Amino acid sequence: MRAPKEQRELFASLADGEPTPQQEALRGPASGLPEGFLYRPSFLTPDEERALLDAIATLTLVEARYRDFTAKRRIASFGAGYDFARNAPVEAPPLPAFLEPLRARLSAFGGVPEDELVQCTVAEYRPGTQLGWHRDAPSFGVVLGVSLASPARMRFRPYPHQKGSGERALVLTLEPRSAYVIRDGARWGWQHAISPTKALRYSITFRTMRGRRPA
């Protein structure tokens, strides 16, 4: 099922050509970020963000479950979910048409073939919601996402983490309408976390599956 013509045109606005200075990507480690992490503010326009938020409002979001723990974060998964009790991916509904143009945009931004972005998670962070230190499940490979509605404080620390080492976490503010890529060293040699949010925020995250190009 293809996205409506007006949505495809909306998301094509930055698909070609060079980014403006405000859209230039920050890359680690020269930027102080982990190697393999790529961040671009102003990836989406306000109209693109509004269209995504309106579409997300039509989804059924449920609290994320991690074994016996139920998180405040509410999610909807497409293409594949993840069963933390079995540590394995599980089937999920196909990607909604409204997310197809965004997947294409992120594919071009991250240099990842579009057909490799087989998993998607839409997440809602109500005020005070956080995401603890973690690396994404090992079944997944490259991680690409966008941040919507409100800023979020993303932190990074080396993995494995030595408790009491005194190492300070790297901190980046994910601005609304920004995009990021986590791959290579940033994906496997670092953990990341989201600090408690101060206002309602949404994220849309795409992932590849390990064993497929690129990993």
Single pTM value for the model: 0.85
Rounded distance between C-alpha atoms, residue 182 and residue 193, angstroms? 13
**Looking at domain 28-209, what is its CATH homologous superfamily?**
Alpha-ketoglutarate-dependent dioxygenase AlkB-like (2.60.120.590)
CA dihedral for 33, 193, 100, 47, sign (positive or negative) = negative
pLDDT given at position 90: 87
Asked if the model's pLDDT at residue 79 lies above 60, the reply is yes
Distance CA 122, CA 203 (A): 6
Residue 211 scores a pLDDT above 80:
no
Arithmetic mean of pLDDT, 101-127: 96
What rounded mean pLDDT belongs to the chain?
A: 86
Most confident of 5-9, 19-23, 124-128: 124-128
The band of 27, judged by pLDDT with boundaries at 50, 70 and 90, is: confident
